Structure 1
């Protein structure tokens, strides 16, 4: 289950080097808040998230009761919250950058949320295909339509503590999906040509989702492309064919990810042309993550392809029989300089680095501040 450079330089006029005596996590937090301090919202914003484990803030645990045990959540929450990381995800950090409370999973029955700040429909393992398999992108959009219809029904009946039609219209709609469509195709032993052949169908499902949300009144979209799949320690460890590049990543997996991203970028261009009153921001997550992994030492990380929470030892510390949180796992010490948390998902330190790059606007097309949707 998943989640979801080349030619990009640092978005700042100087490079960061964490060769200080302070803990890496402390320096990353200072860096993140120095970038996010310029952000803020004139009014209470709302964000609706559609995606996979890269953005799941507890959907799998609350929706299916699937246990996600400690040490997941140890660094920030000090308990398991259903996130597959030691702490916050990118979406958590983006919310905090605009002084917004963290998003509750849509299916959490005990959150007590009225979803006035939005909702998170992302669930671990989600993909675009098959279209009607929980919790595909199509199902997540259906869940959103149900939430919106019910909220407006209650607002029209006099409720005042729910998001209204204007709130839905002004909200940000963040889509981060596709990683599992590509990665799972490889793990099912499809050939490279067969994997590539699936990409147009996957992108078409994302287009359908955007247009469906647009027809519901959405006008502000934030699309994340997929990261370098070939650099995920789990996939490297399990791959039968080790076609590794100079960075130790699987070349075919990364090639497929780049082709998917190219197609998603073309879709973004098309939608901007056709949906002229919508803002559609395409974010190059691949570039950020690949830069981090291939230049890990430059950014103060000592391990880029070795798992913090896993088993088996070097080079990847990943064993599918003993995964993070399961009996027999081993975990690095808190504050360790790892990029990968469990072989697929990233540490909070890595997520903080990525969120800071996103907030810099250097990886967004068009270059857009993340808080654009809440200042109008």
Structure 2
């Protein structure tokens, strides 16, 4: 698949991106006019819901008061990113209702891998013109990436061994790097790239692989090591891109470490039951692969609903795979300062090279 004709066809069709010739002084905060996000379910703000299924309560209950296209009780890291930069929440490019792309777009859709799907775009001109981004905003926008988790998990679900999945990582990272180069060649300059999360701590993984060796936090050791291997390769590739793309800022954002700190010391950070899903049903980890959050099933003739735990604000896992709003906020507050990043650039200075 030609990534420049799929992932970025939306941007190309709208206009030819102008190249930013000057960088603002490092002492000033970046004034990002827009965010373009690429990812999967961890940053999907309505793609899957618009294209295929509407999520059920209690999804969205903490912040939105109703399902809002997110696999979460509230806001995602991409939402906190937008809020921090004083921008509106991103519209999903798949959502054809009440769409506004003036301040960016969210290309994330649940289930996505590093190979992106083909996009649809809105008609040009007319009433849609005011909803489209300005040409000059493309070069000054922030480009965020939150993807790779599904590439690892899909391999495991296809019964590949951990070493077999590890063998596929170089190609994943190569494709990832190519995507960033394509965007750079179109004029993008500020890249904020999340690594993958500690999948060995997911209630889903702990349920599917109950015999896996556990680490000191109770997480499945080899699956976290798989995530760490991907992250190490990604970090190395992004560092190379930072040298190669001379006018760009490429920031590797270590969300893995930020979230893993919740598992190693949950009580200190105000959390409890770190390895138990808040919204689910059944088993030690409150997770059943056949029962989604909000779904009602029949057990021994009785209808049982996979509902929310009493207080999602003290829980880490929302549905066994995705995180609660509280965990997302905790992790965002850590990484946005730059202390977990390489280079150690804060979000609000991510338009500056170091």
Measured in 1, the distance between the counterparts of 2:345 and 2:38 equals 20
User: Structure 1 residues 354 and 270 mapped into 2: Cα distance closer, same or farther (>3 Å)?
Assistant: same
Matched with 2:73 is: 86
- Give the structure 2 partner of residue 321 of structure 1: 290
1:368 aligned residue: 345
Instruction: Identify unmatched segments of 5+ residues in structure 2.
Output: 1-27, 297-304
C-alpha separation in 2, matches of 1:220 and 1:43? 12
Q: 1:198 to 1:99 in 2, by over 3 A?
A: same
**Matched residue count:** 317
State the 4+ residue runs in structure 1 displaced beyond 4 angstroms: 40-44, 158-161, 373-376
Cα distance in 1, alignment partners of residues 205 and 293 from structure 2? 15
Q: 1:105 to 1:262 in 2, by over 3 A?
A: same
* d(CA) in 2 for partners of 1:58, 1:67: 9
Q: 1:221 to 1:241 in 2, by over 3 A?
A: same
Question: In the alignment, is the contact (CA less than 8 A) between 1:85 and 1:341 conserved in 2?
Answer: yes
The alignment's TM-score, normalised by the length of structure 2, stands at 0.84
Give the Cα separation in 2 of the matches to 1:243 and 1:42: 45
Match of 1:196 in 2: 166
Q: Is the Cα contact below 8 Å between 1:203 and 1:263 reproduced in 2?
A: yes
Structure 2 residue aligned with 1:179: 149
Superposed CA RMSD in Å reads: 2.3
* Equivalent residues in 2 for 1:1-376, closer than 5 Å: 43=31, 45-64=33-52, 66-113=53-100, 115-128=101-114, 136-137=115-116, 139=117, 143=119, 154=125, 159=129, 162-239=132-209, 241-313=211-283, 315-327=284-296, 328-372=305-349
User: C-alpha distance in 2, partners of 1:43/1:186?
Assistant: 41
What's the secondary structure of 2:193's corresponding residue? strand
Task: Give the secondary structure class of the aligned counterpart of 2:139.
Answer: helix
Kindly indicate whether the alpha-carbon contact (under 8 Å) linking 1:220 and 1:278 is maintained by their aligned counterparts in 2: yes
Q: What is the CA distance between 1:160 and its match in structure 2?
A: 5.9
In structure 2, distance between residues paired with 1:246 and 1:42:
40
Higher relative contact order, chain-length normalized (CA < 8 Å, sep 6+): 1
**2:301 equivalent in structure 1:** none
Change (3 A) 1:197 1:374: closer
Given the superposition, is the C-alpha separation of residues 185 and 375 from structure 1 closer, same or farther in structure 2, using an over 3 Å criterion? closer
Q: Normalization by structure 1: what TM-score?
A: 0.79
Q: Secondary structure at the match of 1:269?
A: helix
State the shift of 1:341 in Å.
0.4
Q: After TM superposition, give the deviation of residue 375 of structure 1 in Å.
A: 9.3
